Structure 1
Amino acid sequence: MSPFAPLTIRSGALTAQILPQGASLVGLHLQGGTQNLVLGFADPQDHARLPVYAGAIVGPVANRITGGRISLSGQPWQMPRNEGENTLHSGPDGLHSHAWNVVTHNADQLTLGIELKDGEGGLPGNRVIRADYRLTGALLSLTLRAETDRATAMNLAHHPYWNLDGLGDITSHNLRIDAAHYLPTDAQRLPRGAVAPLSETPFDFRSPRPVPRDSALDLNYCLSDAPAAQIRPVAWLTGSTGTQLRIATDAPGLQVYNGAFLPDTPGALPGGQSLRPFHAMALEPQYWPDAPHHGHFPQITLEPGRIWQQSTEYRITQTP
């Protein structure tokens, strides 16, 4: 089976298409609707050729790591660098670049898995990782799990891009995020270390407002300062046609990126539509970025004998 052949799951309200390549969610449609609510390319192989991580599971360490360096049990480890001197989403050979294996596939559920060898990607541990997609009515749930036989770093994240009305510009959407603090970043988009209040900043979305056309919006919103929390609603995105996405998660952070640096790619989307900056936005539940370099952040070390798990729910509703 080709890793670029989509696998389909259905419920009474939703249909989802997932590629084994990167365990990528490349299609999500409401029953009877033609609008794809997530970014998916006309040629599925562009999910490997265009480095935007569209719909993929990224990791094993999502987001940015200073210098790509992590210390575990007193030993330094070096991940491949792919953003200047730093590492983004575990480098060019991260989970997004792998063909995952089908573990189970039923009408409304798909589990994909992958194994990483000790030292692969510049990190220790023989690691077993699973992504379980499940549809129940208008709800898409995703559970990520990981185990290791050596202490390692683990911060898996799902990276779909959302566009709920098909207008080609995410600034037609309203966004609300239930977070009071965020992580200010430096010129390399790495956290400076401060946990800052959102009040009186242009990044405060506690009341719904339009997604800004502002390249600075690529930030971690601090949902919790604890490594584990109860699953709870954290973000709401509403398109101009009344379609709403509600995200609930148990993750302590949410990376919010308005697609300002999406590549200008003529004809990349279905129907000959072009991909442009701000076409769609990513809302990524995860641990806080660069956590190993900031001891007061929720930490991402996974020890042998423990199970790393993160649950996220995407609920789609339509109002007149």
Structure 2
Amino acid sequence: MGEIEEAGHLSDGRVVRRVTLRSDRLVAEVLDHGARLVSVRLDDGPNMTVGSRDLADYEGALKYAGPIVAPVVNRITGAAAELEGQTLGFEANQAGRHSLHSGGAGTHAKIWDIVEATTEAVTLRAEMPDGEGGFPGNSVITAIYRVEGPDILLEIEGATDQVTFFNPAHHGVWNLDGVADYAGHLLMVPAERYLPVDGDTLPTGEIAPVEGTVYDHRAARGPDRTLDHNFCFEGGFGLRARLDAPSGRWMEVHSDAPGCQVFAGRPQGIAIEPQLWPDAPHNPGFPPIVLRPGETFRQVTRFRFGG
């Protein structure tokens, strides 16, 4: 039986529960609010992911710290998109013009069902009713966190009963030394290409080489704090990013996702988000984010820790 306890209440009175997972090396905590990974400790060290014991923080400044964001993570230009001849409208929660992280109806704000919990793993499930947030279809998303030695394995699956957009992602924010500012962390991203963005952080449509830019992280170095971009990868499971902290702690993120958004603009930590590419409905050359009835979306990510 898993280790489950009440973590408190949200401002609207909803009860939040916390599940603690343990291996011989790791202790990880997951909230049912947003299927949110809020604590990861290696060998009794500090919390390596940005989290809080105050649930109010997850309705404010830490809204996107550690949850699984669905149905569509990242941005949609103009908070609207065409899908099979129909124009869909979404919440314009970025700059009053664009949609970010599916708006207030995103799964980061939901209380997920705890389907099963053991010492090493937890399975969570959330439903997204037809039309919620502007997305068609009665959709369901399942997430499994599993601790294995110094690793966390995350499996995300999704299905729907109507054609819809679907691009979920774990929105982890990492600071491996658990200090106020991630300064001194080194970032390595083995990508040859990235997506340039405009003033609203929307992809311009160009797929550009990292060579010669401040976003070239093929060799580990401190990230430029303007970094909020998607890195582009070929198919298959592989290394998407690595962080090295001043203490010697390190984390590798391996995934089968063809993209990885990295955001380094806040001092608390660096967001690393394996996902499909952002704003795909407006960029036909990007990997599509359309999910159809009878299909199963599946994404696997492994977080590996050491030091």
Superposition TM-score tier, normalisation by shorter sequence: over 0.9
- Give the aligned residue type for 1:248: H
Is 1:219 matched up with 2:229? yes
Instruction: State the partner residue of 1:236.
Output: 242
Is 1:68 matched up with 2:79? yes
Aligned residue among 153, 165, 182 for 2:194: 182
State the SS of the aligned residue for 2:183: helix
State the SS of the aligned residue for 2:126: strand
- Whole-Å separation in 2 of the counterparts to 1:234 and 1:124: 31
**Stretches of structure 2 lacking an aligned partner (at least 5 in a row):** 1-5, 9-14
Instruction: State the partner residue of 1:268.
Output: none
- TM-score under structure 1 normalisation? 0.89
- Whole-Å separation in 1 of the counterparts to 2:126 and 2:274: 20
- Whole-Å separation in 2 of the counterparts to 1:220 and 1:62: 12
Pairing of 1:138-217 with structure 2 (within 5 A):
138-212=150-224, 214=225, 216-217=226-227
Instruction: State the partner residue of 2:283.
Output: 294
- Whole-Å separation in 2 of the counterparts to 1:155 and 1:115: 15
- TM-score under structure 2 normalisation? 0.93
- Whole-Å separation in 2 of the counterparts to 1:75 and 1:116: 20
Give the CA deviation at 1:17: 0.4
Instruction: State the partner residue of 2:263.
Output: 257
Give the CA deviation at 1:116: 1.0
State the SS of the aligned residue for 2:104: coil
Aligned residue among 62, 75, 82 for 2:93: 82
State the SS of the aligned residue for 1:292: helix
Given that 2:63 and 2:108 are in contact with CA atoms closer than 8 Å, whether structure 1 keeps it comes out as no
Q: Deviations for 1:162-204, whole angstroms, at most 9, x for unmatched residues? A: 0011332222101110101000000000000000000010110
Q: Deviations for 1:34-65, whole angstroms, at most 9, x for unmatched residues? A: x0000011313321233540001112100000
Aligned residues: 294
**Percentage of identical aligned residues:** 40
Q: After alignment, is 77-86 or 162-171 more displaced? A: 162-171
- Aligned CA RMSD, in angstroms, stands at 1.2
- Whole-Å separation in 2 of the counterparts to 1:112 and 1:52: 19
- Give the aligned residue type for 2:98: N
- Whole-Å separation in 2 of the counterparts to 1:289 and 1:51: 21
Instruction: State the partner residue of 2:12.
Output: none
Give the CA deviation at 1:231: 1.3
Aligned residue among 277, 288, 301 for 1:312: 301
- Whole-Å separation in 2 of the counterparts to 1:107 and 1:247: 23
- Give the aligned residue type for 2:175: N
Instruction: State the partner residue of 1:121.
Output: 133
Give the CA deviation at 1:70: 2.1
Instruction: State the partner residue of 1:263.
Output: none
Give the CA deviation at 1:141: 0.6
Given that 2:36 and 2:68 are in contact with CA atoms closer than 8 Å, whether structure 1 keeps it comes out as yes
Instruction: State the partner residue of 1:273.
Output: none
Is 1:26 matched up with 2:38? yes
- Give the aligned residue type for 2:87: P
Is 1:282 matched up with 2:288? no
Given that 2:105 and 2:132 are in contact with CA atoms closer than 8 Å, whether structure 1 keeps it comes out as no
Given that 1:4 and 1:45 are in contact with CA atoms closer than 8 Å, whether structure 2 keeps it comes out as no
- Give the aligned residue type for 1:288: W
State the SS of the aligned residue for 1:210: coil
